[in-house]
Structure 1
Amino acid sequence: MSWESRFAEAGISWFAFARVVGPRARLRLEGPTRVGMFNVATRFEIGAFSYMHDGQGFNLVIGRYCSIGRNLYALQPNHPVDWLSTNPFQYQPDAFLGAKSPYFDGFEAQPRPPIGNKTITIGNDVWIGSNVTLVNGITIGDGAIIGAGSVVTKDVPPYAIVGGNPARLLRHRFDEDTIADLLDLQWWNLHPSMLSGLEFSNINRCISQLRQRIQAGAEPFAPDVLEGLSGDFLS
């Protein structure tokens, strides 16, 4: 079965997948989801009912029900700052220009340094505006909002609204008790049918309704999942 057919069967839409994903990238995709022209280098996970437009990432894990705008840049690994140069010629002379160069024939390279290629983790129900940059290793909590044009350099608490360069806390979406209730309920793990008819615009009433349904035995959601190396889907 072609990757197009496998994706369609799981409800996954990824524009130009074969052209933007490296063959050794590790993927975990929950359906349904939609990904635009997003370049992936190493690892990419995205939860059900999330969507994103375009950008680039290396190690990126995204939860469910996320809304991610255009030009997300999840930063690549760091370069060494205490070596002679920050340029990678010192540890990968044959590859750093994308092609072998005769100037480096017989060049004695150093072992590649630990370059901090950490995972960027985005929780559930996160809204990220356009033109946002995320620094390696940060975690964005459930329910957070990242303003357009922000550069996020540190962890973002659940249900926080941040913005700026560097991003700073502007306010929280709800009060502490409401946030605690939402984190306890974890509504994003429920089957969508369990969310039908909730009073979405009245957060306190909505929480009460959710709690009643969970106590009554609300059905969890078990999505279709595609998992493996991207090259396995392209073969």
Structure 2
Amino acid sequence: MNYETITTETREGMAVITMNRPDVMNALNTQMRAEITHAVSAAGQEARVVVLTGTGAAFCSGQDLGDRANMGNINLERTLRDEYIPMLNAIVDCPVPVIAAVNGTAAGAGANLALICDVTIATESASFIQAFSKIGLIPDAGGTWALPRTIGLQRAMGAALFAEKITATQAADWGMIWEVAADEAFEEVWKARATHLATGPSEAFKRIKQVMRASSGNSLEEQLLLEGQLQGQCGKSRDFMEGVMAFLQKRPAQFEGR
């Protein structure tokens, strides 16, 4: 598929999807949402890790408010249901880990797009803004689900009500994201993280994602049963045998991803 609002590159098991509308800070319009949905779904079948990042000074500034000529005709519920939910589900349901490499400002739906990914790595100068209340809206694109679970109700409520900028360092300190990297080292850091996942035990990584995502909706008993089921599957993989042999032989493991 030929994309117009994003670029894609796949090599050595790593698929990099780059939002490419720098003139509007990579704001999400209908076409971009559809292209991200398609690209993530396709990459999940071909790669061992997916990276989502942005071009220019921003990761993503959220909904493109200039996407429709007549703002009075916007049906936000339909837009979220028909365009945002498929995009977010593509990331959540992707069988391989998805890294958000936040290269700059992540605002509104752009912030929550980053937070719905499995791991979020941000450059030091990046920031996260739940900007919705500034235009009379509530956080969407999964923000009301992700934020209370990652940073607690008080901080989630404050982020939504006050719509203040949260720095990358603050986001990491709060547990909102995984890691902050110095601006000059940012690309090197996220590529190293992605390479680790692309060359690791992919079958285990897939099941880590599955079991972690399931935990919030499971009772302890249900989660323990799921752990047992998935661990049994991992125990039959070639990567498990290779990992054990490498440990016993005191050498680095050479995982095949199967």
- TM-score, L = length of structure 1: 0.28
Identify which of structures 1 and 2 has the higher relative contact order when contacts are C-alpha pairs closer than 8 Å and 6+ apart: 1
**Larger strand proportion of the pair:** 1
User: Which one has the largest radius of gyration?
Assistant: 1
